[in-house]
């Protein structure tokens, strides 16, 4: 589904991703772990199409489609979703208005008509209820006055509404209390499907207790330096990254 080959990307001429390879098949959940600054968020932004980064080498395809040939909104319409590590606040754009704009933009990109408002409202209410997002929050400016945990839940709500093929979750567990972690994980698990894949970036095993990964990767200095099964996450939890930082540097 997602195929990344020898990806190099830099920001302001500073190389961040340095030959990254990653293959994700439909239905799989991949976890990416790695020290701070190793380039995990950079990878997610490069995939999503943030302008600040320059791809200097390599390729990334989603179901065979060259992601780098598409604008950010086209990548989203092609089925890519990024749950931001730090979701942004947009005062004045009501959450509901934003959700509707996003859902309808993607429908239009697929050649479908806009979802009738009552149907859309019903859908949002249904999904929002499951994530503990109140109708008051939906009326507020996007993420404005939302707690850290509420912002993360809002990301999952967007994911649930947009039904992407590939979901990249960048530290969705950070800032969540124990109950919220459960709610968010259930939200994610509810979306697991044989034709949908997840790349879950996290520092902690506790998220992976809820969202069981099929594959765990260690990222260091802009590359995937080790790949293993779920047991790798436990090993990292116990031993830290010291080994990998050295290995990548070598």
Ligand X SMILES: Nc1ncnc2c1ncn2[C@@H]1O[C@H](COP(=O)(O)OP(=O)(O)OP(=O)(O)O)[C@@H](O)[C@H]1O
Shortest distance, position 240 Cβ to another protein, whole Å: 32
**What span, in angstroms and rounded, lies between the C-alpha atoms of 87 and 155?**
7
79 makes contact with ligand X (CB under 6 A): no
Residue 68 site contact among another protein, ligand X, Mg ion, none (CB < 5 to 8 Å, cut-off depends on kind): none
40 makes contact with ligand X (CB under 6 A): yes
Shortest distance, position 40 Cβ to ligand X, whole Å: 3
Q: How far is CA 137 from CA 23, 87, 91, 104, 203, in A?
A: 37, 15, 13, 20, 29
Judged by CB under 8 A, the number of residues near another protein is 29
Judged by beta carbon, residue 7 or residue 78, the one nearer Mg ion is: 7
Structure tokens at 157: 């709500």
In sequence order, the 6+-apart residues with CB closer than 8 A to the CB of 71 are 49
CB 245 within 8 A of CB 221: yes
Shortest distance, position 155 Cβ to another protein, whole Å: 10
39 makes contact with ligand X (CB under 6 A): yes
Structure tokens at 9: 């990307």
Where helices occur in the chain by DSSP H, the ranges are 40-48, 72-77, 95-109, 117-130, 135-139, 148-162, 178-191, 205-210, 231-239, 242-249
Shortest distance, position 108 Cβ to another protein, whole Å: 9
Angle at which helix 117-130 crosses helix 95-109, to 10 degrees, equals 120
Encoded one letter per residue, x for contact with another protein by CB under 8 A and - for no contact, window 39-78 reads: ---------xxxx-------------------xxx-xxx-
Residues lying near ligand X in the complex (CB under 6 A)? 11-12, 14, 16, 34, 36-42, 52, 85
Residues lying near another protein in the complex (CB under 8 A)? 48-51, 71-73, 75-77, 81-82, 84, 87-88, 90-93, 97-98, 101-102, 105-106, 109, 141, 158, 162
């Amino acid at each position: 589904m997602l195929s990344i080959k020898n990806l190099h990307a830099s920001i302001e001429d500073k190389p961040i991703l340095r030959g990254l390879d990653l293959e994700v098949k439909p239905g799989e959940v991949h976890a990416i772990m790695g020290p701070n600054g190793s380039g995990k968020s950079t990878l997610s932004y490069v995939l999503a199409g943030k302008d600040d980064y320059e791809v200097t080498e390599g390729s990334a395809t989603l179901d065979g489609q060259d992601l780098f040939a598409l604008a950010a909104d086209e990548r989203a319409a092609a089925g890519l979703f990024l749950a931001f590590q730090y979701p942004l606040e947009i005062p004045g754009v009501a959450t509901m208005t934003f959700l509707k704009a996003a859902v309808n933009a993607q429908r239009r990109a697929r050649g479908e008509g806009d979802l009738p408002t009552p149907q859309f409202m019903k859908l949002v209410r249904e999904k929002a209820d499951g994530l503990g997002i109140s109708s008051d929050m939906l009326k507020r400016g996007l993420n404005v006055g939302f707690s850290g945990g509420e912002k993360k839940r809002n990301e999952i709500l967007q994911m649930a509404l947009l039904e992407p093929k590939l979901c990249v979750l960048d530290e969705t567990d950070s800032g969540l209390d124990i109950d919220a972690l459960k709610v968010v994980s259930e939200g994610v698990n509810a979306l697991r499907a044989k034709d949908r894949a997840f790349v879950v970036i996290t520092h902690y095993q506790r998220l992976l207790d809820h969202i069981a990964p099929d594959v765990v990767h260690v990222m260091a200095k802009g590359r995937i330096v080790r790949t293993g099964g779920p047991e790798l996450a436990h090993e990292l939890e116990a031993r830290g990254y010291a080994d990998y930082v050295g290995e990548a540097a070598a």
